[in-house]
Structure 1
């Protein structure tokens, strides 16, 4: 049995059930039989690594899927008669797994990380190499904890404002009834974990399927963007840009088939049997297209010169009738025997150029901002000529359009709109099969994901987002 609640109050629910079933019991002092005693589980440094890998293993990227579905970058084809489409239609509520599933998986990762963190100091380091590994694992765990909390904050905060309700920040594994921290407090805790992680992870550690130093810097840059801390956003994005140059146009398509790892700071490793993306979402193994690229997104691309277009989108003229001829190609790589089995890229240098461009623009340095935007475009479009922009508003709008294209299907678009309090606006053609779901304004409840109903049931200190 696994317990996914942020407060671990499902343990409490189990206790209540046991009390009801056995009223003669005076006390419950038995050790749980569904967990391993930490003193026995973590006996050496190698065991710490196994625990860390267990925390990585439950990062399922379900928030990405939720965010893509509710944004304006995909459309619901007529052929999709098999999936739950309440997210695309903006008809979800606190019981809808389509938007609440990430809450469980991210808090599960956090709980696993906290269990290992609690054991780090208790494990002996007989050799200097063991101590170095302990430091590295502790750094990875802290960064993973920060990442998971930040994903929760992006999805479930009542707003991206300092005093707005955020999420409970869990620093240890325990049974409790935490209230929601503010957005500002969440940001402070996330930044503290990342700062400490950066002192522990060695520069010599370069595995991009785990959290290395450049990935921590990428996290810091993204957090600073949401905090509107423009100076930090420039500093940390520059750190990534220096360490990881942009992919060339020749290299870029190979990122999405795992032929190379150019400009990838961190990616989730996928193995046989892992259905976190690919056929499990945008397409189904039976050939059904569940979600197709939106016409709005297709129209944004230079289809002839932009290397991103064929890497992200596939046109299949053999699919006729009610079948969508456009398909998401971004996660459909792998091999003939395992189609769609590609690693999920979480942080890339392309995003860092756009973070720095936005931060430079907001800081008043329009020249530097335009230079970053033009540099990214030049790397993606053949024959590109650098452009100038009349003012800050025009430049920021161009940066957002570029984010729409560069980060398509990566779970960023919905949160980008929320950062600027902009509505989700779909073309009528993209919502033709969605009961008229064309406009999602910031005033509508579904503009922010709901806290799961089960969390409200078991935690008396938990409150729902407005409107639900």
Structure 2
């Protein structure tokens, strides 16, 4: 079979009459009549470029990306999530089976090529309604998105700097910043995997441009200077570039001010369509964007329709918290008199699941016993409950302000500023209802920071990547297994058609 990666690039180049903007879950070249633009004329006008830029966000909503997999898989693959088998979904992922992994390679590269086409057209754009400042802002927005797509590729398909199994290291991912003038030229493109550090260099370069050219935040569903700085903070943390983490996190915290939730309003913040802590989210706004009852985040994570109402069943609750996560959250399950164990650790669930007590950590209030409408109930997360007024329709937070404090704390802890690290950790702890920590060593602080990251971002798509970037094994006591960091399943497969048709593209080990 011919090279599918090249076909994707070629298809975008050759689709002069195809849509730039809307990407469905199944086919990235589908046309939405409401937003489709003729690519032959789209990039010659300001309105056409604006619409094309909006279209560059659409692949983020794909099922393989933030529509589901970039949120659910980091929970299932890690020690946070266990599969209930109520629909059969995420069972293999929760077992870390080979080939049950990330699959957003094609979606991300389609988006990158679309971005590159718009960037290439900007210098020649002659429209009296488009100023030099407008062009700069366009470029900044596109560079932010290209950085995000490249980053989500490299952190998934490659090892992370400082946590590499050298014998299995096939490199990073291809950096694609060029466009192609014809189908033949596109089909002649045989990319290799660029070295990991060079991929991060390219992401840094795009984020430098984005930070320099973007303005103040006005819509958290769009790129802004603060969003670019926040993404930069995350990328630098993965790279273990701690001075850059401190610089960018501090810039975001200074710009955003005191926007952290408090114990009094934390749960309410998750009931708003846009969480007030959000710096950047993937916006799901219209009923047409509803992923549906099978695989939206709401149906994946919970059977509930409304918090506290166990009489109405919505989704499947395919992925629920593990016993260790519940314990760390401060949730104690009622004992089952028949077994003298907590119902949550029974391998087949239980119809008498009940929470006996909670700690003062308000984050555990977002975890409730679900309904029995899909079988035995489990404790489920309620972070996603159709907050836009329709079941299965939620904006998906990608970056929240809380991350900046924990990123900066980790950077301080690893550069010797333990006082500052502890202050940032305790900002999170006290805002979540906990007493301040007294951790006084770098090791103790790093342990506390990792714990707070687990609690703060549970079921938001962080945990697997946190363990991976630190080179840690994944302990799964509920399954009686430990996935070693050195195992092949830490990395996903690059699509076989892409590798098979390109001698320069190396596959990850084990596939």
Question: Is the shorter-chain TM-score for this pair beyond 0.5, marking a shared fold?
Answer: yes
* In 1, Cα distance between equivalents of 2:81 and 2:483: 15
* In 2, Cα distance between equivalents of 1:415 and 1:74: 14
Quote the residue 1:72 is aligned against. 79
> Residues 158, 304 of structure 1: CA spacing in aligned structure 2 closer, same or farther, 3 A cutoff?
closer
Q: 8 Å contact 1:374–1:386 — kept in the other structure?
A: yes
Confirm or deny that 1:295 pairs with 2:334: no
Quote the residue 2:123 is aligned against. 121
> Which among 173, 188, 199 is matched to residue 167 of structure 1?
173
Deviation at 1:231, TM superposition (A): 0.6
Quote the residue 2:107 is aligned against. 105
Q: 8 Å contact 2:385–2:392 — kept in the other structure?
A: yes
> Residues 292, 261 of structure 1: CA spacing in aligned structure 2 closer, same or farther, 3 A cutoff?
closer
* In 2, Cα distance between equivalents of 1:281 and 1:4: 33
* In 2, Cα distance between equivalents of 1:38 and 1:81: 40
> Residues 125, 394 of structure 1: CA spacing in aligned structure 2 closer, same or farther, 3 A cutoff?
same
Query: What SS does the aligned partner of 1:42 have?
Result: helix
Q: 8 Å contact 1:251–1:262 — kept in the other structure?
A: no
Quote the residue 1:40 is aligned against. 41
Quote the residue 2:377 is aligned against. 324
Quote the residue 1:391 is aligned against. 441
Deviation at 1:110, TM superposition (A): 1.2
Unaligned 5+ residue runs, structure 2? 20-36, 181-185, 304-312, 331-357
Deviation at 1:37, TM superposition (A): 6.9
Q: 8 Å contact 2:102–2:156 — kept in the other structure?
A: no
TM-score by length of 1: 0.85
Which shifted more, 241-250 or 164-173? 241-250
* In 1, Cα distance between equivalents of 2:430 and 2:392: 29
> Which among 2, 6, 9 is matched to residue 8 of structure 1?
6
Unaligned 5+ residue runs, structure 1? 15-29
Q: How does 1:365-444 map to 2 (within 5 A)?
A: 365-381=417-433, 384-428=434-478, 431=479, 436=480, 438-444=481-487
The alignment yields a C-alpha RMSD, in angstroms, of 2.6
Q: How does 1:139-150 map to 2 (within 5 A)?
A: 139-150=140-151
The count of residues paired between Structure 1 and Structure 2 equals 430
* In 2, Cα distance between equivalents of 1:11 and 1:196: 24
* In 2, Cα distance between equivalents of 1:141 and 1:339: 31
Q: How does 1:32-431 map to 2 (within 5 A)?
A: 34=18, 38-60=39-61, 61=66, 62-78=69-85, 80-83=86-89, 85-93=91-99, 98-127=100-129, 130-161=131-162, 164=169, 165-174=171-180, 175=186, 176-203=189-216, 205-244=217-256, 245=258, 246-271=260-285, 272=287, 273-275=289-291, 277-283=296-302, 287-302=315-330, 303-311=358-366, 313-316=367-370, 319=372, 322-334=375-387, 338-381=390-433, 384-428=434-478, 431=479
Q: 8 Å contact 1:357–1:373 — kept in the other structure?
A: yes
Q: 8 Å contact 2:87–2:316 — kept in the other structure?
A: no
TM-score by length of 2: 0.78
Deviations, residues 118-141 of structure 1 (Å, cap 9, x unaligned): 1111211424x6433222121110
* In 2, Cα distance between equivalents of 1:92 and 1:191: 32
* In 2, Cα distance between equivalents of 1:424 and 1:462: 28
Deviation at 1:454, TM superposition (A): 2.2
> Residues 148, 334 of structure 1: CA spacing in aligned structure 2 closer, same or farther, 3 A cutoff?
same
> Residues 322, 454 of structure 1: CA spacing in aligned structure 2 closer, same or farther, 3 A cutoff?
same
* In 2, Cα distance between equivalents of 1:187 and 1:411: 20
* In 1, Cα distance between equivalents of 2:111 and 2:283: 15
Q: 8 Å contact 2:90–2:318 — kept in the other structure?
A: no
